[in-house]
Amino acid sequence: MSENKKIVIAVDGHSSCGKSTLAKALASRLNYAYIDTGAMYRAVTLYGLRNNLIAEGKVDEADLTAQLHQIKITFRYSEAAGKSETYLNGENVEEEIRQLPVSRSVSPVATIGEVRKHLVALQQEMGKNKGIVMDGRDIGTVVFPDAELKIYMTASPEVRAQRRYDELKAKGEDISFEEIKANVIERDYIDENREESPLRQADDAIVLDNSYFTPEEQLDWAFEKVMERLNRNGN
């Protein structure tokens, strides 16, 4: 795919609905860069937890904001894992940021205006040359409002909770389905009702309810939408 055919693809949607799975696969098929913005917020959250800036769901906003300049987030491709992994200040934290302690606290951290402003600036810099697939909560509405293709993903809370439950159980974590479901519903509420960049469907986004899609089916669906956009743009 030549340089003049590269576009920005924004994938937004609810937690645990497979945004990253789709975005990674789509980026691989297109030979685009993949940016996991959720991992960036999770890395900031992990930093806060490690430095006692978050306790019992309460975030010390002033101190966390003051320390943002000390938080360096990078992505490196792992040949062994076959995927891009998240690094916090040089340490691979890909597994730790996916665990429940971070999941419980990431939504409150993501409501902090200065955190969002800081990370959005980083994300926009990453995408300035196009040829990227970026997933998150506000990519099509705030980070890249002019993205050529916007996909809004969702699935029922029960389906999303089951997926997350299966994922964590496979990693050996002792967690109940009801606790996971409660976390999914709580995160939906926080994401949709926060003051800073709430989760919402962009007016020009295409909705993908993947409750009953396989990963292969949703990838084919998304790839078809990309081709439609490229053809529509005369590329």
pLDDT in tens, 151-168: 999 999 999 999 999 988
User: Cβ distance 65 to 111 under 8 Å?
Assistant: no
- Give the bridge partners for 153, in sequence order: 13, 208
Number of domains into which the chain is organized: 1
Flag whether 45 is marked binding. no
Amino acid letter, residue 23: A
Flag whether 20 is marked binding. yes
Flag whether 17 is marked binding. yes
Query: Which segments of the chain have a pLDDT < 70?
Result: 1-4, 233-235
Flag whether 16 is marked binding. yes
Specify the pLDDT at position 11.
96
Domain span at 15: 3-232
User: Cβ distance 117 to 143 under 8 Å?
Assistant: no
Flag whether 13 is marked binding. yes
User: Cβ distance 9 to 32 under 8 Å?
Assistant: yes
Cβ-based burial of 125 (10 A; exposed 0-12, middle 13-18, buried ≥19) = exposed
Q: Cα separation of 175 and 105, whole Å?
A: 17
Specify the pLDDT at position 2.
45
Phi/psi of residue 132, nearest 5 degrees: -135, 155
Q: Which of 164, 168, 130, 133 is nearest to 150 (CA)?
A: 133
Flag whether 69 is marked binding. no
Record the pTM.
Answer: 0.78
User: Residue 83 maps to which CATH number?
Assistant: 3.40.50.300
Flag whether 14 is marked binding. yes
